[in-house]
């Protein structure tokens, strides 16, 4: 085991220790999570949808079992919350997410949800970005305003951190499904990225207008390398689907530029860009340095790369889950999530731009 591998295994261990013991005091009042299945912690359990993960073996390494998280264990949002000293934030759709339970934050993320309202509609119900913003407004008006008012509420919102993870479904469950969605016929990849960014910006500014001031906007990872895309047979068995990865450049570059623009035009707020593509790409290019042995096949799934059909109820997953980069056809393992969370929290500007989450929490 080389030095770099030791460092990253230690990083993962530290995240898990923090998660189990919650030994850190909270650095921010709350964390509000918006996004898709990468950070959904149970909202889709309450919706009429095929996009659910509230069954074994999902959650097989999570102390709450199969809660609706799309991983074997914790999501990146869970782990970022732990590093910030926060408990798990409850899903918005859970009827018990009311009163003082919302004070540490709320998770609005929904599997199959996207920036565009139509994205993921073939799965059934899901909360799109615009609906998630409306759901936050509901929490604000029906819960938070009843417990706080005036300057206290403004300070609470201004110090809280917003995590936003969007874009993946707008590609894999929209643009890359021409038999179900017309977007790839109506837009070039560059035009489509601009459409997504314009819609995204509108909703981010809506959240800003409601009082939120600290935003982390995660870029889209290398989707051409997930088991689902590798299993398509488009690329050679040992290759990612380059065409898919290349079309993401316009979105990620545009999102980073949008962060610069927002920071220039909104003094008193801070927006950061999470370089998911770069961090994930580093793991893919140097898997052994991070302790991974399998990067092209999921731990739980069916077919080529275990990615043609995602993890099925009561399917027996791989045993050495910490050595797998991907849990199922689409989602990382907890081990991968821990590395991504650590890099967002403590990483240099190449990981989290222009500052990291620890620095943001101190503002």
Q: Which residues are catalytic?
A: 37, 328, 331
Per-residue HEC secondary structure of 199-229 comes to: HHHHHHHHHHHCCCCEEEEECCCCHHHCHHH
Angle at 237 between CA 308 and CA 112, to 5 degrees: 35
Give the CA-trace dihedral at 199, 329, 349, 113, to 10 degrees: 20
| 102 Cβ contact list (under 8 Å, min separation 6) | 90, 139, 143, 144
- Chain centre to alpha carbon of residue 168: 9
Those residues whose C-beta lies under 8 Å from the C-beta of residue 23, and which sit 6 or more positions away, are 17
Residues in the chain: 363
Using an 8 Å Cβ cutoff, are 172 and 112 in contact? Answer: no
In three-state secondary structure terms, 98 is coil
Q: Residue 38 and residue 43: Cα distance in Å, rounded?
A: 12
> Cα angle at 245 between 242 and 249, to 5 degrees?
130
């Amino acid at each position: 085991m080389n030095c770099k591998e030791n460092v990253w295994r230690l990083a993962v261990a530290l995240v898990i220790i923090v998660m189990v013991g919650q030994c850190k005091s909270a650095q921010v009042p709350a964390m509000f999570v918006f996004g898709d299945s990468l950070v959904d912690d149970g909202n889709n359990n309450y919706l009429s949808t095929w996009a659910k993960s509230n069954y074994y073996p999902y959650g097989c390494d999570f102390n709450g079992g199969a809660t609706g998280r799309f991983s074997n264990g914790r999501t990146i949002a869970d782990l970022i919350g732990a590093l910030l000293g926060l408990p798990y934030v409850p899903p918005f759709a859970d009827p018990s997410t009311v009163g003082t339970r919302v004070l540490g934050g709320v998770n609005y993320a929904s599997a199959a949800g996207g920036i565009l309202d139509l994205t993921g509609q073939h799965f059934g119900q899901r909360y799109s970005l615009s609906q998630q913003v409306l759901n936050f407004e509901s929490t604000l008006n029906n819960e938070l305003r009843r417990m706080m008012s005036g300057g206290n509420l403004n300070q609470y919102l201004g110090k809280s951190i917003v995590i936003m993870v969007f874009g993946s479904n707008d590609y894999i469950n929209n643009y890359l499904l021409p038999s179900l969605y017309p977007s790839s016929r109506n837009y070039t990849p560059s035009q489509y990225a601009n459409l997504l960014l314009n819609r995204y910006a509108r909703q981010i500014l809506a959240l800003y207008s409601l009082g939120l001031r600290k935003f982390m906007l995660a870029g889209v990872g290398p989707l051409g390398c997930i088991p689902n895309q590798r299993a398509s047979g488009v690329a050679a068995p040992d290759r990612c689907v380059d065409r898919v990865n290349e079309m993401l450049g316009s979105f990620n570059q545009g999102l980073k530029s949008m962060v610069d623009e927002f920071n220039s035009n909104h003094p008193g707020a801070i927006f950061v860009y999470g370089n998911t593509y770069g961090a994930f790409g580093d793991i893919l290019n140097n898997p052994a340095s991070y302790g991974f042995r399998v990067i092209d096949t999921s731990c739980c799934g069916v077919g080529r790369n275990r990615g043609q059909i995602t993890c099925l109820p009561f399917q027996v997953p791989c045993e050495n889950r910490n050595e797998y980069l991907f849990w199922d056809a689409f989602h990382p393992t907890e081990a991968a999530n821990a590395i991504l969370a650590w890099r967002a929290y403590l990483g240099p500007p190449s990981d989290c731009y222009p500052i990291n989450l620890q620095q943001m929490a101190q503002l």
